[in-house]
Structure 1
Amino acid sequence: MALVVAAATLSSGCSLWNGSLWGGSSKPKPAELGPVVPVIGVRQAWTSKIGNIGRLPLDVHVNGTTVTVASADGTVAAIDARTGGDLWRATIGESLSAGVGSDGKWTAVVTQSNQLVVLAQGREAWRQPLTAQTYTAPLVAGNRVFVLGGDRSLTAFDAAGGTKLWNQQRPGEPLVLRQDGLLTAVGDTLIAGMSGRMVGFNPDNGTVRWEAPLASPRGTNDVERLVELLGRVSREGDNVCARAYLATVGCVDTSRGTVAWTRPASGTEGIHGDGAMLFGTESNGTVIAWKRSDGAQAWSLDKLRYRRLTAPLLLGRSVVVGDDSGLVHLLSRDDGAFLNRLTTDGSGVAAAPVAAGETLVVVTRNGGIYGFRPE
């Protein structure tokens, strides 16, 4: 069984900034940020609020113009990104360990007591016990709910009634990150990160269709050998690109289950991009752009070093990243130049920014929800 509790000291990005990795008793001081002359006009359109996010591994989910979020204490809300108003809001009744997954009809979260809870339009439809702790937001697709457990189990439930359909158990390394992992669907294939491998499953019965290794365990102890594929991936057709924690970035042809390429990369957050480029943030705060075709580095930016950056969002001509002071940086996709800088409540950006319709949505650790739009 994987030791999730032991890994928690590594997870959520916390340990990357302690003295053990940086050779000192405190994290390095970020460089001062100079003023930014806005190249792209952006205005704050609205704000909303949910409970404290803290270190909940939150996946902010988007369905059209609906944004679904959750707080650590178990509040779940669907928000209209056009106005910032609630479409519905619900209280689970206990703290969460993972969320949020939704297909617009069903919304799923996992509690600290290992309960999968599914809501229908804000009302609890059912809950089912899980056999392991879970830190990855459930995937809701095809009238099913898929759960990736911290013990590297993958389980499918019927979304309407909660019946367990199948379970697939995989061996793995003894430590697991308390962080959102890779769980998505491409066509009729369910794709999950299992240690350093991207694995394609038949969603009907859980059988394995293919495995594609992006990284292998390395080192002499369990901490050094820890390798996981992280949430927030970049998909273009059958091509899915992902990051392996502190190891690599790579792309897989999911129609055949073959690795297109991998490149060494030392990041702890997912990646984003389009058909031409990929973007990621390294553990030291460097922002890097790679060519999607072969992984060649296009540019890097070190002016945000040591700021605990989120995974990026590619939005038009901008690469959007949040940091631990609550700032949101808009960088040029072409060369990383600063295009604008947005402010929130100063508590730190809790999850990768998302785009819902014409609105950029940012959630902070104190539970602030901000909607920004171009001027």
Structure 2
Amino acid sequence: MIVSLGVLISACGIFSDDEVEQPRELVDIDASVELEELWTANIGNGQGDSYLHLGPSIDGQYIYAAANNGEVYSLNKETGDRQWQRDTDDVISGAIGVGGGMVVYGTLDAQVVALDADNGDELWRSSVSSEILAAPQTDGRRVVAQTVDGRLLALDAENGEQVWAYESSVPALSLRGSSKPIITGNTVVSGFANGMVAALDATDGFIMWEERVAVPQGRYDIERIIDIDGDPVLIGGTVYVGSFQGNLMGLDLQSGRIVWGMPGSTYRSLTLGLGNVYWANSESHLFAVQNNTDSEVWENDDLRLRRVTSPVAFNNYLAVGDFEGYLHLLSQIDGRIVGRTRVDSDGLRSNIVADGRMLYVYGNSGRLVAYRLP
């Protein structure tokens, strides 16, 4: 059974005076950073009516984005000019990956679809075992995708035929979401709803290592949820990952050996900068922890329960979005909110993309906005 975060928060009992605690109201800030809006594009119906995380991806000079109603766009990342648009008949639920000259996405009716990155023409589509909620990834040789039934599948990028499959156990109850796999060299790394991270050989699916990030605790299924929904992040030779109601860990890419770890509950991705690991816990408190230690540098609870996106390191700042559609900039040094702008009144859910001095923010309604530090 898959549950949304809102249902989970209510069920877990975050209460105040016998009523569910409400998200913290925003207070005025003394802004010291003003982002410059460069361009805006409308991408179909955006996230649609389901709890999806359809994030954009950058490759070279272009940014690619997809909407739940099947629209896929390629835009010049500097100007927002449209390279191409395709109106597919798909209900897109996992988007978007790009690499090796192709754009790939997953659908609600269990298909992986590959388009030509230059013109949007369909190259192939392949049926898989169940729906896909995270963006497939490709290096031009393999396309890898995680399905909600706990499988990680590798497809031949030439024709979409399945090459290998890895199966993980699926808990009785889990969050609605999946971890996006990463491909680096000849290694595929992904996290799963059972709290495991696995690294596999991209050629044949040979298991290089498996490591448990979290162990289920408690009597009831809802207490035992330990999903890894945040995407693994590779920095140097270390894979950083966190689990819900579990731990944060840094794992050696080659061996899976734990090189850093601490308790923490998150359903978002981690990020690094200025010698710190940054993360948002399941109550949307933001933290900076000195890398390779459990020493807390700062904590900011100004956005408590505002369902923030994964923090993204951006120059000397962290960028996060929230459920009311505000984009917040925090100082990496002390965690103060130093800038804020509203992007989409329907909210922000998909991860923000940073590229040099540029930020790309994709709102729930389908509004894609490019910002630049002045």
What's the CA shift string for 1:9-28, capped at 9, x where partnerless?
x23x3224436522378642
How far residue 106 of structure 1 moved from its aligned partner, in angstroms, is 1.0
Is residue 12 of structure 2 the alignment partner of residue 15 of structure 1? Answer: no
Call closer, same or farther: CA 1:137–1:50 in 2, change over 3 Å: same
Call closer, same or farther: CA 1:323–1:26 in 2, change over 3 Å: farther
After TM superposition, the structure 1 stretch with the greater mean CA deviation from structure 2, 84-93 or 168-177, is 168-177
Is residue 72 of structure 2 the alignment partner of residue 73 of structure 1? Answer: no
What's the CA shift string for 1:96-139, capped at 9, x where partnerless?
22111111611111111111111113111111111122212111
What's the CA shift string for 1:62-105, capped at 9, x where partnerless?
22342221111111112222011222221220212211111161
How far residue 280 of structure 1 moved from its aligned partner, in angstroms, is 1.3
Which one of the candidate residues 33, 46, 51 is aligned to 1:40? 33
Q: Give aligned pairs, total.
A: 367
SS of corresponding position for 1:224 = helix
Q: In the alignment, which residue of structure 2 is the partner of 1:257?
A: 256
Is residue 29 of structure 2 the alignment partner of residue 31 of structure 1? Answer: no
Q: In the alignment, which residue of structure 2 is the partner of 1:349?
A: 348
Q: In the alignment, which residue of structure 1 is the partner of 2:166?
A: 168
Rounded to whole Å, the distance in 2 between the matches of 1:104 and 1:322 is 30
Rounded to whole Å, the distance in 2 between the matches of 1:184 and 1:238 is 13
Is residue 181 of structure 2 the alignment partner of residue 183 of structure 1? Answer: yes
On the 8 A contact 1:59/1:180 being kept in 2, the answer is no
Aligned-pair Cα RMSD in Å: 1.9
Q: Percent identity?
A: 26
Which one of the candidate residues 81, 84, 102 is aligned to 1:85? 81
Q: In the alignment, which residue of structure 2 is the partner of 1:134?
A: 132
Call closer, same or farther: CA 1:170–1:117 in 2, change over 3 Å: same
Call closer, same or farther: CA 1:124–1:295 in 2, change over 3 Å: farther
What TM-score do you get using the length of structure 1 for normalisation?
Answer: 0.92
On the 8 A contact 1:65/1:357 being kept in 2, the answer is no
Call closer, same or farther: CA 1:268–1:158 in 2, change over 3 Å: same
SS of corresponding position for 1:268 = coil
How far residue 233 of structure 1 moved from its aligned partner, in angstroms, is 3.4
Please tell me the residue identity of whatever aligns with 1:240: V
Call closer, same or farther: CA 1:259–1:20 in 2, change over 3 Å: closer
Unaligned 5+ runs, structure 1:
1-5
How far residue 275 of structure 1 moved from its aligned partner, in angstroms, is 6.8
Q: In the alignment, which residue of structure 2 is the partner of 1:3?
A: none
SS of corresponding position for 2:13 = helix
Q: In the alignment, which residue of structure 2 is the partner of 1:289?
A: 288
Unaligned 5+ runs, structure 2:
none
Rounded to whole Å, the distance in 1 between the matches of 2:294 and 2:104 is 35
Rounded to whole Å, the distance in 2 between the matches of 1:72 and 1:105 is 23
On the 8 A contact 2:156/2:163 being kept in 1, the answer is yes
What TM-score do you get using the length of structure 2 for normalisation?
Answer: 0.92
